[in-house]
Amino acid sequence: MTVLLAATLAFAPGAAAQNVPLREGFWIGLGLGAGSLGFGGDVSGVDRETGLSGYLKLGATVSQHFLLGAETNGWTKSESGVSTRVGSLSAVGYVYPSSTSGFFLKGGLGYLAISDNANVQSTASGVAAQLGLGYDFRVGGNFSLTPYANYIASSGAELKVGGSGVGGDINPNVFQFGLGVTWH
């Protein structure tokens, strides 16, 4: 998947010359790929876990260089009867450095929550920030294929087991990459 993303971004300048993107009005998109879950805070020695990941986004075009919207991201993994899920909701801004290119940088602020059902229900939630990048390859009128990479990290996410705080923040973070579709 990483090779696909790198190859896609490497060929981006040639694709931009073929279809000059017009960004205007309402936009919506969704993506699916792989993700890696890790922890910060008071957690140490826990390996990152790989699972299925994706997003749903929508918003409005402010200018040819800036889009503003909302995005929800998710990560999930089920193994040996234990399901772990992470979800986030953020206000996001997309910056397109060039009005004639589909390349974008993204930043956002919001909320992230995690839960699992190992032995006893465990949860944590906190404020989150995200950074990302991608490229909108126009493949028709107002439709684009969008390879992407995102990083979402939380802060102040106190671990609760069975609904009671156990002290200490686990601060989940997710790295996502995959392929999305966007309607402009």
Give tens-digit pLDDT for 120-150.
788 999 999 999 999 999 998 889 999 999 9
Rg value, the chain, Cα: 18
User: Residue 37 is inside which H or E element, if any?
Assistant: strand 26-39
| Residue with the larger pLDDT of the pair 167 and 16 | 167
Exposed / middle / buried, residue 12 (Cβ in 10 Å: 0-12, 13-18, 19+): middle
Looking at the DSSP bridge assignments, the partners of residue 54 are: 32, 74
Q: What pLDDT is stored for residue 117 in this prediction?
A: 86
Res. 16: pLDDT tops 70: no
Rounded to 10 degrees, the C-alpha dihedral 127/147/180/157 comes to: -10
Averaged pLDDT for residues 158-180: 90
Res. 173: pLDDT tops 60: yes
Question: CA–CA separation, 159 vs 42, rounded Å?
Answer: 10
Helices (H), the chain: 2-10, 12-18
Domain boundaries, the chain: 21-43+50-91+110-124+156-184
Res. 55: pLDDT tops 90: yes
